[in-house]
């Protein structure tokens, strides 16, 4: 069975717990990297383990959640082979898979409801990369 790694900071705990249930219902295994508390934590401590799992192939996709999703997205994109995308609606979640072959979805807990986060995740997971003209652009991302 395929694994999805998920992590969040204190702002994303409720969203993470909701999405863990959704991921399991969709038939995936979940590697929950935390946090499980609303006590303030540093988002890189959770974004790096999720990114490493995707980078090494331990997980096929990653999900990262923080208040704005900017911090986790910036952190994840420091890893080679990671294409983390900040998503705020279902259409963006679809296009980042279609055109950018994103492998981590970053969700802003303070700006997207849990329901919207679930819909974005479902679209992200069900959308395949188009390849073609987009592949040459993906090939130019790494430094």
Residue 40 is part of a domain; what is its CATH number? 3.40.1400.10
Q: Which domain holds residue 75?
A: 3-139
The predicted-structure confidence for 94-112, as pLDDT tens digits, reads as follows 999 999 999 999 999 999 9
Q: How many domains does the chain have?
A: 1
Question: Is 73 designated active site?
Answer: no
The predicted-structure confidence for 32-53, as pLDDT tens digits, reads as follows 999 999 999 999 999 999 999 9
Q: Which of 8, 10, 66, 73 is catalytic?
A: 66
Question: Is 10 designated active site?
Answer: no
Parallel, antiparallel or unpaired: strands 29-32 and 84-86: unpaired
């Amino acid at each position: 069975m395929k694994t999805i790694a998920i992590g969040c900071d204190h702002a994303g705990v409720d969203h993470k717990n909701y999405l863990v249930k959704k991921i399991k219902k969709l038939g995936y295994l979940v590697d929950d990297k935390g946090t499980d508390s609303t006590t303030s934590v540093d988002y890189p401590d959770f974004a790096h383990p999720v990114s490493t799992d995707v980078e090494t192939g331990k997980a096929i996709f990653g999900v990262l959640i923080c208040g704005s999703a900017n911090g986790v997205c910036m952190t994840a994109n420091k890893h080679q082979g990671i294409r983390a995308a900040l998503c705020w609606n279902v259409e963006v979640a679809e296009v980042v898979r279609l055109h950018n072959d994103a492998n981590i979805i970053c969700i802003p807990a303070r700006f997207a409801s849990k329901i919207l986060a679930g819909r974005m995740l479902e679209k992200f997971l069900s959308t395949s990369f188009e390849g073609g003209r987009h592949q040459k652009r993906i090939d130019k991302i790494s430094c």
